[in-house]
Amino acid sequence: ITSPVAFDILPLKLQTFSQSTPTGLDCVGWKRRISVPVIADGALDKTALTDEVGSEEDLYEDFRSSNHRYGHPGGGGEQLAINELISDGSVVYAEALWDHVTMDDQELGFKAGDVIEVMDATNKEWWWGRILDSEGWFPASFVRLRVNQDEPMEDYPLKVEGGKEDDSRRFGMGQTTKDQMRTNVINEIISTERDYIKHLKDICEGYIKQCRKRADMFTEEQLKTIFGNIEDIYRCQKKFVKALEKKFNKDHPHLSEVGSCFLEYQTEFQIYSEYCNNHPNACMELSRLTKVNKYVYFFEACRLLQKMIDISLDGFLLTPVQKICKYPLQLAELLKYTNPQHRDFKDVEAALNAMKNVARLINERKRRLENIDKIAQWQSSIEDWEGEDVLVRSSELIYSGELAKISHPQAKSQQRMFFLFDHQLVCCKKDLLRRDILYYKSRINMDDMEILDVEDGKDKDFNISVKNAFKLHCRDTEEVHLFCAKKPEQKQRWLKAFENERRQVQLDQETGFSITEVQKKQAMLNASKQHHAGKPKAVTRPYYDFLMRQKHPTLPTTLPQQQVFMLAEPKRKPSNFWQNISRLTPFRK
């Protein structure tokens, strides 16, 4: 799904344009049927629809001729505002949210945090911009317009040797100017929060309420998939905005102390994790439904009746994802214009760290959910799998490698490949001829085990001499498993991995992380389909590897997906564990 224009990130100077953008009521053929698809009791008056507008096919033609594009990322208000400013001779700046890596000389590359002069925003998806002496196209969804458009570039922190910021110019500005900048940021936080509440209300009352009246079109499970826990988010945000308004100093906004509000609600903001994790499922379900004309008409009628701006439902449903990612940006901007002597300084500083942690938690949960597809693909590549799927109890590969397993009663040593997941250790055997093929042999429940370091020498339990060994001891059955690594450092890595496994399990319990049965079944189903279709099971390469291979001789024709969940840690390195799996088992039999 392409990213819609973020409703709440327009600078104060542009807000009036945003609020006066078309509401969609002037769409050809829609004004006359605004009250038809949704009525008070939720029934669809098909007769009235046909009599007034014609057949469903005619209605669809009207809809198409209106130039409305379902799934369109924005309604054009932001572009209108920006281009009006540019045409008037104003300079419009945007800040990069994510790195844009490109090898195309007609695209503009930049890093997160860079300031870009927007020179042309006529196209909704790709804008033309300049950084120093470089000009080129860049994805509009990778940037946010600066809050303080009047702030001169020389007031931005300068980069000096060592990568540290030179704040001398920034702190050299007059106190009145700095107070005004803080006022602008405070006003933006308050106003965008109020706008966000309105968006949530529109979704809950304009869409969910109407959908529940149509049991013939939507099941409760479908509504849960499409809207997630957005009603919980709405209730949380209503309380949060009230807390903000209590701390807002209307007479002197720069004296407002809002940092404590973010600290108070940092735990409640974790409910965004569930929403963000579900969002891809919502996109898929919406995409499926909107292939049927009646759902397209219904969703559009809901929007018009609620008098919402001309953005489709999938666009509105992206706003909570954008919002939780935006809080660290707003707080960083606020901290920049808050003097250390200000009563709000320590709270804003703490709030910034707290909201970064919330974003990191969401990032981590998103990454874990993405991993389940890879785990399912891995399992489908293993021959002779027995018992329950690995996803029934696990969602993270902690470590993998080759060990010698020594079993009772003959103390026989066997070379095996081991894969340590949270809650379980899976044992596989390599094929004698095809070493890239693995056969399932057994698994060990890690919840019942304790790890015992074994000194080099003769082991009393097995009555043999061992080196680089450790044991897994079952507390309930007294069963003991003995393992030997080839090198001391390999043994230490395994012992560390077992510690990490227990730590991961404890963290999941504390944060309430879990994978739904639907997500598990879907991952296994996808892996099964790929396996039977003979598709390669290699781990998907990161998006930017794909982006770097693209060549756009003129205006790029597609909008790349921004990594909204990587805001807190945009430079996270991929795990080596999956590379190990890819090397050891190239996902084919």
pLDDT tens per residue across span 398-424: 999 999 998 776 778 899 999 999 999
| 230 and 339 together in one domain | yes
Band of residue 149 on the pLDDT scale cut at 50, 70, 90: low
Tell me the sheet residues that pair with 452. Answer: 471
* Alpha carbons 514 and 522: distance in angstroms, whole number: 15
Each as own residue / partner, the long-range contacts of residues 350-353 (CB below 8 Å, 24 or more positions apart, any chain) are 350/259, 350/263, 351/259, 351/260, 351/261, 351/262, 351/263, 351/266, 352/328
- Residue 69's alpha-carbon distances to 141, 169, 219, 310, 313, in angstroms, are 18, 47, 26, 10, 12
Looking at per-residue pLDDT, the higher value among 80 and 391 belongs to 391
| 139 and 183 together in one domain | no
Across 500-517, average pLDDT:
86
pLDDT(8) > 80: no
For the whole prediction, is pTM greater than 0.75?
Answer: no
Instruction: Report residue 463 CA to chain centroid gap.
Output: 53
Give the pLDDT score at 216.
94
| 338 and 429 together in one domain | no
Structure tokens given for 538: 């290699």
33 domain residue, yes or no: no
Give the pLDDT score at 151.
52
Structure tokens given for 7: 């409703």
Angle at CA of residue 100, ends 96 and 101, nearest 5°: 155
387 domain residue, yes or no: no
Given CA atoms 92, 93, 97, 103 in this order, what sign does their dihedral have? positive
Q: Which of 512, 533, 561 marks a domain boundary?
A: 512
Give the pLDDT score at 70.
35
| 211 and 119 together in one domain | no
| 229 and 339 together in one domain | yes
CATH assignment of the domain containing 128: 2.30.30.40
What percent of the chain is predicted at pLDDT more than 90?
A: 41
Instruction: Report residue 217 CA to chain centroid gap.
Output: 29
- Residue 53's alpha-carbon distances to 23, 65, 295, 306, 585, in angstroms, are 21, 14, 17, 21, 59
55 domain residue, yes or no: no
pLDDT tens per residue across span 52-62: 334 434 433 44
Give the pLDDT score at 531.
65
Q: Is the peptide bond before 328 cis (omega within 30 degrees of 0)?
A: no
Nearest alpha carbon to residue 146 among 321, 7, 14, 244: 14
Looking at per-residue pLDDT, the higher value among 515 and 160 belongs to 515
| 262 and 360 together in one domain | yes
364 domain residue, yes or no: yes
Give the pLDDT score at 383.
93
168 domain residue, yes or no: no
Nearest alpha carbon to residue 75 among 27, 120, 114: 27
| 212 and 304 together in one domain | yes
Looking at per-residue pLDDT, the higher value among 131 and 577 belongs to 131
What percent of the chain is predicted at pLDDT more than 70?
A: 70
- Residue 125's alpha-carbon distances to 2, 29, 128, 546, 547, in angstroms, are 9, 27, 10, 18, 15
| 256 and 342 together in one domain | yes
Q: Which of 122, 145, 168 marks a domain boundary?
A: 145
490 domain residue, yes or no: yes
| 316 and 187 together in one domain | yes
* Alpha carbons 275 and 388: distance in angstroms, whole number: 28
Give the pLDDT score at 423.
95
| 363 and 439 together in one domain | no
- Residue 318's alpha-carbon distances to 14, 279, 307, in angstroms, are 21, 8, 19
Q: Which domain holds residue 215?
A: 179-370
pLDDT(507) > 60: yes
Most confident residue range from 76-85, 114-123, 297-306, 569-578: 297-306
pLDDT(554) > 80: no
pLDDT tens per residue across span 184-198: 999 999 999 999 999
Query: Average per-residue pLDDT in the chain?
Result: 75
12 domain residue, yes or no: no
| 305 and 203 together in one domain | yes
152 domain residue, yes or no: no
Give the pLDDT score at 580.
52
CATH assignment of the domain containing 410: 2.30.29.30
Q: Which of 354, 370, 386 marks a domain boundary?
A: 370
DSSP 540: P
Give the pLDDT score at 36.
33
pLDDT tens per residue across span 530-544: 766 554 443 333 333
pLDDT tens per residue across span 73-122: 333 455 667 777 787 778 888 888 777 777 666 888 888 778 899 988 88
Give the pLDDT score at 148.
56
DSSP H helices, 306-344, are 313-336
Among 147-156, 411-420, 466-475, where is mean pLDDT lowest?
Answer: 147-156
CATH assignment of the domain containing 190: 1.20.900.10
* Alpha carbons 442 and 264: distance in angstroms, whole number: 48
Domain count, the chain: 3
| 116 and 227 together in one domain | no
Among 172-176, 361-365, 425-429, where is mean pLDDT lowest?
Answer: 172-176
Give the pLDDT score at 434.
83
pLDDT(222) > 90: yes
